[in-house]
Amino acid sequence: MELTPNERFPYPDGNDPGNGALDLQALAESIDAKAQIQLTNFRTKLNKKMRVARLIGTGPNSIGANAFGDVFTMGAGQWSILIDTTGTFLLDASSLNGFGPEPGIFRVGCHLSSNPVGVVTANTYRELRISATVPTNDPSLFPANTTIKRSLSKVFEASTGFVSQTCELEFATLFPAQGANVVTTVNVEFQHGNTGSNVQLLASTLLYTYRVCDIEVL
Amino acid sequence: MPGTTTNFGFRYPLLGETIDATSWQNLAVDIDAVMTRINDLRTKAFHAPTASIGNTGSASLPINSATTVIADMLHNVVNWDTAGLTNIVGNPERINLTPGVWYARFTAGILQNTTTVQQATVYIREVGTGFIWAANSTSNITNPSSNVTGPLTVNAVVVYPAANSITGSVQWIGTGGPAHWTDINGSNLQVYRLREFLDV
């Protein structure tokens, strides 16, 4: 039995007994296995893991001034999943739960619309922040070393109350979900300077996370 | 009765069966079919649908109301379109999306012809419903008398289980006008597909 130089497909050599049926079977199974690998790889690339959630109504009117809080909590009760291919039904689209242990590059983003529930404090800020605490060392070690990546959007309102803003963060993680001590954590947070009244999130506020691509472990 | 392979059922003759031209044909046809499936996926993987529409120097979009109007940017040039997503003559405001998850970005050029601009916002919206996928605001707090704003950019992840269309839209709050969102420093709406809505 000989093998082709690259994909190692078998074929009979001059000294083989010439069992054509068995040779054909070996070749067919070999091609079958290679084809399965190709299909799996392309599907993994095309069926990108992602989770997108949107507010379908106004969030609780409980966001006080000058303190960062979690955007997912600020929209409690109003999130609707638009797509979730992670196999882990989870409304919090900023979580990496369900994305698996494979190293990868991720993008987390948020579009956020906000409005005071009462008095508008003119010209005050609205700040949307995304941060990722990413383990950087061997996941078997404790405590894990981490690095924090941040992205920020700061917009001032214009005496009308209503403000829309967007923020995104990309990061690479070698160990997105391997053990409680080395999990990459993502926070999407919001604060405002509207001291005249609380602020609430509006419908259409959007949270999304997806795996951009794999990354080689060097 | 031929045997078949583990994953794709490639037919091959069993011991004792005659190996003839049909045996080879069956195997070749089966492999051909799977190779075609692989090639389809390869094409999708390396050629994601994408399009971009923009403005040339003559295009601008006057907006006459200073507070309540959100107007769709009208484009007049196709920068690229790999999948027939645009109709720049019939629908210069939109890009048509197939089912899937798309990354969209809209940039509006500089806003001119106003007396003051207090706030300006750019949107990515759904055609027909006006549903807002994303918006981004800027405000001239420290220099409210400024009559020039922009360019402004907004990006969004857009999810559609069925075909739909999006626009890049603009709004401003201030005095004077009608405002013109020009092509200065670029105005364009562009998309690429992140994935199909259902697994392939």
pLDDT for the residue numbered B62: 79
Same domain, A10 and A70: no
Same domain, A38 and A71: no
Same domain, A79 and A173: yes
Name the least confident of A73-87, A163-177, B76-90, B149-163: A163-177
Domain region containing A151: 49-214
Please give the Cα distance from B5 to A215 (Å, whole number): 33
pLDDT for the residue numbered A174: 73
DSSP state of A203: T
Q: For chain A, 218 residues long, give each residue's pLDDT as a single digit of tens.
A: 889 999 899 988 888 776 788 889 999 999 999 999 999 999 988 999 999 999 999 999 889 999 999 999 999 999 999 999 987 766 788 888 888 777 889 999 999 999 999 999 988 999 999 999 887 766 566 666 677 888 999 988 887 888 999 999 999 887 655 555 567 889 999 999 999 999 999 999 999 999 998 876 54
Of chain B residues 125-184, which have a CB less than 8 A from chain A?
131-141, 154-157, 159, 173
pTM of the model: 0.89
- ∠ at Cα B131 (B64, A93), nearest 5°? 135
Q: SS3 for A168?
A: strand
Rounded to a whole number, what is the distance in Å from the CA of B125 to chain A's nearest CA? Answer: 11
Buried b (16+ CB within 10 A) or exposed e, A50-69: bbbbbbeebbeeebebeeee
Residue length of chain A: 218
Give chain B positions within 8 Å (CB) of A207.
none
Rounded to a whole number, what is the distance in Å from the CA of A157 to chain B's nearest CA? Answer: 7
Please give the Cα distance from A184 to A172 (Å, whole number): 10
Same domain, A66 and A28: no
What CATH number should be reported for the domain holding residue A180? 2.60.120.40
Find the residue in B nearest to A53 (Cα): B159
Give chain B positions within 8 Å (CB) of A164.
121, 123, 132, 134-137
Which residue(s) pair with A81 in the sheet?
A: A53
CB A150 within 8 A of CB A129: yes
Q: How many domains does chain A have?
A: 2
Same domain, A23 and A85: no
Q: Contact B134/A166, CB-based, under 8 Å?
A: yes
CA A56 vs. chain centroid, Å, equals 21
CB A112 within 8 A of CB A199: no
Same domain, A175 and A83: yes
Average pLDDT over residues B6-28: 91
Of chain B residues 27-56, which have a CB less than 8 A from chain A?
27, 31, 34-35, 37-38, 41-42, 44-45
Residue B101 pLDDT > 90: yes
Same domain, A69 and A134: yes
Does the model's ipTM exceed the 0.90 cut?
A: no
Same domain, A20 and A56: no
Give chain A positions within 8 Å (CB) of B12.
21, 24-25, 27-28
pLDDT for the residue numbered B63: 81
Same domain, A179 and A135: yes
Give chain A positions within 8 Å (CB) of B35.
35
